[in-house]
Amino acid sequence: MLIVQKFGGTSVGDLERIQNVASRVCETKKAGNDVVVVVSAMSGETNKLIAYAEHFSKNPQRAEVDMLLSSGERVTASLLAIALSEMGCAAVSMTGRKAGIVTDNIHTKARIEEIDPTALNKAIKEGKIVVVAGFQGVSQDGNVTTLGRGGSDLSAVAIAGAIKADLCEIYTDVSGIFTTDPRIEPRAKKLDKISYDEMLELASLGAKVLQNRSVELAKKLNVNLVTRTSFTNEEGTLITKEENIMEKPLVSGIALDKNQARVSLVGVKDRPGIASDIFTKLSKSSVNVDMIIQNEGRDGKANIDFTVPVSDLDDAKKVMNSFVKESEVDEISYNENICKVSIVGVGMKSHTGVAAKAFSVMAAENININMISTSEIKISMIIDEKYAELAVRALHSAYELDK
Ligand code: ADP
Ligand code: ASP
Ligand code: MG
């Protein structure tokens, strides 16, 4: 088989763990497979580098941030290649650029435009294990870019697609996808399989075990994706097409996203095109808007509330201030002490009462719901951040996910 194995930050967190990863990769190779490895930076490294940049500037140039952050993954890639060669498993490390990962030029959250796997395929043909530095690519104009936090997952899936790998294994610090974050609810259960769509919702709604764009791409390219732990030989979770899953639970999982902020606009000029102006400008500044509520206008003024990831808040503020300056909006306030709790399950398509149940669980815990949004397979609620864990555990138990 041709296998892509991605190791996250904890799995390569220190030299002993890198040695451990080398043994695992070498074993896979010696069992007769071709292996491409994608590595993250050592755990904590990316945060450390961001803090270094922020020591000098509150708003460092993003191209420089990319130059800086991409170094974390290069360290682990080269160390792993050295450890592998020492074990007698010929290996070569590659940067994102050498691996042919071409992106757009949106620094710190670039999108992959194409992959040219020539160098990868050549090294594989020569019998080498290729170790690719995850999370990075190169823009058309030759600058280093990074793919957004958690982006090594995306590197792995994209490479698996480009070289038509039989399997893409994501090794992390938990043994698979659980019904909710096992760090919040220790009674969470590991799932054997989960559909791409449910996993995409969970990932988009805060379950950072897989980066959401990696799941989206895996679905599009039909990549066989498995999440498992690098610490034991336990079987992981297969992320696959919905039709491959026999038993469809009503609810598959609960996700929590604490990195959300609410933007409240008071006294918005109630004229045709204002929403279009606001949200087009936000989108042009690459601000990811999630939930939106607009109330009915009165005396020519309306209120609009929306949520954005905390990391996009500064950009959102810049855009919104321009509307205040032009007297299109009277007042703006921001609240970072909120979180989004979501319930995900394909079974919701054919069952009623799932949302009503979620609301009664919140009521029973005396938790006020600020905003609600639903889709075919998910219900999301914005609540006060201090109730985050309580809400997750209450919902997990109400839908009997611990059974
Ligand atoms: P890595 O560094 O390997 O990329 P991450 O920290 O990005 O790992 O993701 C793994 C973490 O995701 C786990 O430690 C766990 O706390 C968290 N997590 C959140 N939701 C879930 C879930 N539903 N199932 C498993 N892990 C989850
Ligand atoms: N090192 C990067 C991060 O911490 C990418 C990754 O680990 O996937 O976000
Ligand atoms: Mg991750």
Minimum-distance ligand to the CA of 207? 1
Residue 77 has pLDDT above 90, yes or no: yes
Q: Is the pTM of this model over 0.85?
A: yes
- Give the 3-state secondary structure percentages of the chain, helix then strand then coil, rounded to 5: 35, 30, 35
Number of the ligand 2 atom closest to the C-alpha atom of 151: 8
Give residues (CB < 6 A) around ligand 2: 8-9, 40-41, 46, 72, 134-135, 149-153
Give residues (CB < 6 A) around ligand 1: 8-11, 40, 150, 172-174, 177-178, 180-183, 202, 207-209, 253
DSSP secondary structure of 102-150: EE-S-TTS--EEEE-THHHHHHHHTTPEEEEETTEEEETTS-EEE--TT
In this structure, what are the phi and psi dihedrals at residue 376, rounded to the nearest 5 degrees?
-55, -35
Q: Could you read off the pLDDT of 3-34 as tens digits, one per residue? A: 999 999 999 999 999 999 999 999 999 999 99
Can you give the pLDDT at residue 80?
A: 98
Rounded to whole angstroms, the maximal C-alpha distance in the chain is 77
Q: What is the mean pLDDT of the chain?
A: 95
No. of helices (H) and no. of strands (E), the chain = 11, 18
To which residue do tokens 């360290």 refer?
Answer: 75
Q: Could you read off the pLDDT of 174-216 as tens digits, one per residue? A: 999 999 999 999 999 999 999 999 999 999 999 999 999 999 9
Q: What is the enclosing helix (H) or strand (E) of 160? A: helix 152-162
Number of the ligand 1 atom closest to the C-alpha atom of 183: 16
Residue 171 has pLDDT above 80, yes or no: yes
Q: Could you read off the pLDDT of 246-298 as tens digits, one per residue? A: 777 789 999 999 999 999 999 999 999 999 999 999 999 989 999 999 988 78
